[in-house]
Amino acid sequence: MKYQTGEVGRVIVVRFEDGDEILKNLIGIAKREMIKTGIFFLIGGIKDGNIVVGPEKDELPPVPVWRELTESYETLGIGTIFWHNDEPKTHLHGSYGKRDSVKTGCLRESGRAFIVMEAVIIEIKGVSATREFDQASNMVLLKLHP
């Protein structure tokens, strides 16, 4: 285990409107505001998304199991922002509910706001971290720097 301590920087409140791309816009905000490290919270509606609900088997590299969010879902999510090379990368896990069905997974590639999605982004200052390619997992993972 490795860790660092930091401090809270700026807090950004976001309202995504119906049809807005969630991940694309979070990345855009991180770029414009130069948020190098942060955490964000999501609450609201989502549609047209793709989530990973785990690996096929518990082995490296993992083969993801995909599920599509084909209709609107109520959403509660938490994610992080760290940069990979010259781009901010998000990592978002959430729960997505519709009627009596709930899916939990990692939102990837796409997902659009349904009616409204709210986000609160909290910048973390004083932490030196990026995302770097990990050969064993074939994924871009968090790396803390001394």
Would you say residue 66 lies in a domain?
yes
Would you say residue 25 lies in a domain?
yes
Would you say residue 57 lies in a domain?
yes
Q: What per-residue confidence (pLDDT) applies to 109? A: 84
Q: What is the pTM of this model?
A: 0.95
For residue range 86-116, list pLDDT tens digits in order: 999 999 999 999 999 999 999 998 899 999 9
Would you say residue 117 lies in a domain?
yes
CB 145 within 8 A of CB 129: yes
Looking at the structure of the chain, the number of domains it has is 1
Count of residues in the chain: 146
Q: Please state, in angstroms and rounded to a whole number, the distance separating the CA atoms of residues 91 and 82.
A: 9
The mean of the pLDDT values for the chain is: 97
Q: What per-residue confidence (pLDDT) applies to 96? A: 98
Would you say residue 1 lies in a domain?
no
Would you say residue 82 lies in a domain?
yes
Q: Please state, in angstroms and rounded to a whole number, the distance separating the CA atoms of residues 17 and 42.
A: 13
State which residues of the chain have pLDDT below 70: none
Looking at residue 121, which CATH number applies to its domain? 3.30.1330.80
Q: What per-residue confidence (pLDDT) applies to 103? A: 96
